[in-house]
Structure 1
Amino acid sequence: MSMENLLDQPFVHWMSSGAQDGDIVLASRIRLARNLEGIPFPQRANGEQLSQVVSQLKSSLCDLNSNEQSDYMFIDLEKLPLLERLVLVEKHIISPDHAREASNRAILVKQDTTVSIMVNEEDHLRIQCLMPGLNLVKAFTSANQVDDIIENKHALAFNEELGYLTSCPTNLGTGLRASVMVHLPALVLTGQINRIVNAVIQLGLTVRGLYGEGTEAVGNIFQISNQLTLGFTEQEIIDNLYSVVKQVVDHERTARGGLYADTTDMLVDRVWRAYGTLKYARSISGQEALALLSDVRMGYELGIINEGSHCNFNELMVITRPNFLQKMSDCPELSGNERKKLRAQIIREKLTNKD
């Protein structure tokens, strides 16, 4: 994938269909927080020190690309306008925090977009692997391979008692943050979501919105992740998250089945109304689009609608976001109304092309 395709094409690997529990689990992510030894953490480092981190990580390109199946791009965030950085956030390539500050920041991205390494985010580097469906083990294996390559080349901040040293104390130890992005419309519709979220939190996990910490759960999409890394092995963290997510998936499937059995006409009507609005609307907001896409995706999974696909609706999640829309347009800056019209037009075309 070229730099242009990375920014212009909505599809990335985590949107692929056919993965385990892909009807409910959109993607699995493993993120490893690491820091270079002898250099202050990004919040305390000066410009020269941050630049040194960028240079050192850029020098890892040859090592990362030594495997014939790997092909990484180095992207200097200072050379990307804010709009393009925010597009990368909407595609889950980088975090919102990484996009806001571009000075002495960079990313290394694998061509298939499964791996991205954020340089000078909260830590010197954050190795992220994103896989479709419930695929935590494969994501960890991939992220761990990258971690080994980096650690063979660079001395990392590590303490025998505390493990990997990180900017945030909650990441001490393994530095591992595992998360799963789930679509839970039936639990929301049946009013069970608060009980499920509270139960998940009591099990030592956290629940966040579409783009992680500090974001809303729009489109009935939530991220479930571990809270602590110190005192746990990587396997324990992954096993615990996997077990809890499987229970959440079972609850969502049960809720969907109950909705379909108890309120068939109402549910079918809701799904087709959502589909009809998306297919024929001439103006639509981002929030409304995601809410309607959520209903349509559930309808697809329940067999109410036979048009479209997982990839189709996952792509629309990105296409309907404000920054991606702006990037697609020929206008220097879209007004709110122009954005709503363009969003509706693109959704109509996408759905029509799949009929």
Structure 2
Amino acid sequence: MEIELSLPEPDPAEQDREVIETLINDSKYTSFAAKYLREHKSEIDQLIKMKTKFGNTWKDVVKTGLRVPNSKVGFYATDADCYDVFGDPLKYVVHSHNMRDADPNAIPQRVVGGDQLSLQVSDACKERIISARCRFARNLTNYVFPTSISPKDRVAAEAELKAALDKLTGDLAGTYTKMGDLSQEEQDKMVENHQLFHNKDEFLVKGDFYDDWPNGRGQFHNNDGTVMVWVGEEDHIRCMSLEKGSDISSCYNKATKMLEHLDKHVGLAHHKDFGWLTSCPTNVGTGMRASVHISLPRIKANMPISELKDICKKNNLDIRGTGGENTGFAGVVFDVSNRRRFDVALSRCHY
């Protein structure tokens, strides 16, 4: 006669405690998440009890930080409610990243399209700027964010976004393509041309962002190719506007017009203290990265990259290679963008 022994189910609270103690006690964890826990040990019992209205816990929020010890941030928001339930640690991340406390009067308001931009670009800059781009990260209010969304809801969120994008008219009207309808060769070509996202980012892999690939994901572009929307990457929405030349105002105005349309039809996640909500808390506020590709041959020849980075930082700018985040500097063309995302109005990120 065989006797079956059943093991007791793991206690979720104890599992969360183990995660917290690992982040606190192991010095290899250097993220903002680990630093917060070390500085706020008295809050551990309370953190373990917390849960968002979608059922996500502390362990879900810090899973990437646990899996990638050298992660700078260590947090990914699991849903909009996360910014209320885990508001204190998320504020710690935002303020640590921006190296300052927030001015509540500078949180971006819900109205997106009314603040049109008209920047004056000098002739010298016009000669050197090759292209301009504005990228916005947004999430849907009523769905779990991509790090924790279920397969069913991932597809449902995409369907809502596609329906909203299909309603666009005028200069924003265009075509939506499901990623699953593209061959691997077509996907690779679009990724190479920066028209589509891949599934190879280490942090997003560890954060489960690529689960159910390629279901619930796709790309929209308007008819003249100056506006794109990625659905289902790090955030539910990555809206981008691109122009040849230096007209970054046109990029900004088209993208904010698109966001106003999407907010009206699907509801974008916004918070009174954080602004527009994103998966990575370092992007909250405006959720915007405005950039230009600019040719700087004499600077490249005569100035160390480290010095150039320092100058940019002092002027609230970031500089990197044209191949994307964490790419090297090849040639004389640089990608220069706003450093500030939080505690600043959308149209003033360049100040």
TM-score by length of 1: 0.57
**The residue matched to 2:286 in structure 1 has which SS?**
coil
Among 165, 168, 179, the alignment partner of 1:77 is 179
Is the alpha carbon distance of 1:155 and 1:98 closer, same or farther for their aligned partners in structure 2, counting shifts above 3 Å?
farther
- Residue identity matched to 1:91: N
- The residue aligned with 1:231 is 343
Letter in 1 for 2:193: K
Give the secondary-structure state (helix, strand or coil) at the position aligned to 2:134: strand
Count of aligned pairs between the two proteins: 219
CA distance in 2, matches of 1:29, 1:157: 23
- Taking the aligned partners of 2:299 and 2:305, their CA distance within structure 1 comes to 5
Structure 2 residue runs of 5 or longer lacking an equivalent are 1-122, 202-209
RMSD (Å) for aligned C-alpha atoms: 2.3
**Residue in 2 that maps onto 1:176:** 288
| SS of match in other structure, 1:60 | helix
Runs of 4+ in 1 over 4 A off after TM superposition: 95-101
CA deviation string 1:228-282 (max 9, x = no partner): 31100012114x2xxxxxxxxxxxxxxxxxxxxxxxxxxxxxxxxxxxxxxxxxx
Task: Give the gaps of 5 or more residues in structure 1.
Answer: 1-18, 241-355
Q: Which amino acid aligns with 1:221?
A: V
Question: Structure 1 pair 217/75, CA: closer, same or farther in 2 (3 Å)?
Answer: farther
1:130 to 231, 242, 247: 242
Q: Distance in 2 between matches of 1:49 and 1:220?
A: 44
- Shift in Å, 1:172: 0.7
Determine if contact 2:172/2:227 at 8 Å carries over to the other structure.
no
Distance 1:172 1:195 in 2: 28
Look up the SS of the partner of 1:179 in the other structure: strand
Aligned amino acid, residue 134 of structure 2: I
Q: Kindly indicate whether the alpha-carbon contact (under 8 Å) linking 1:73 and 1:110 is maintained by their aligned counterparts in 2.
A: yes
- Code of the residue aligned with 2:231 in structure 1: it is V
Aligned residue for 2:308, secondary structure, equals helix
Report the Cα distance in structure 2 between the residues aligned to 1:20 and 1:55, rounded to whole angstroms: 45
The Cα offsets for residues 32-87 of structure 1, whole Å up to 9 and x where unpaired, read as 111111211111112212111110111013321x32x3431111112223332232
Corresponding residue for 2:129?
A: 25
1:91 aligns with one of 193, 198, 205: 193
Query: For residues 175 and 133 of structure 1, do their structure 2 counterparts lie closer, same or farther at Cα, with a shift above 3 Å needed?
Result: same
**Correspondence for 1:116 among 199, 212, 228:** 228
Partner Cα separation in structure 2 for residue 143 and residue 160 of structure 1: 22
Change (3 A) 1:185 1:103: farther
Partners of 1:95 and 1:211 within 8 A in 2: no
- Contact kept, 8 Å, 1:29 with 1:180, in 2: the verdict is yes
Task: Give the structure 2 partner of residue 59 of structure 1.
Answer: 163
Partners of 1:160 and 1:125 in 2: CA distance: 20
User: How is 1:1-355 mapped onto 2 (pairs within 5 angstroms)?
Assistant: 21-64=125-168, 66-67=169-170, 69-96=171-198, 102-238=214-350, 240=351
Q: Look up the equivalent residue of 1:52 and give its one-letter code.
A: A
Residue 144 of structure 1: how far off its partner (Å): 0.7
Closer, same or farther in 2 for the Cα pair 1:179/1:113, shift >3 Å? same
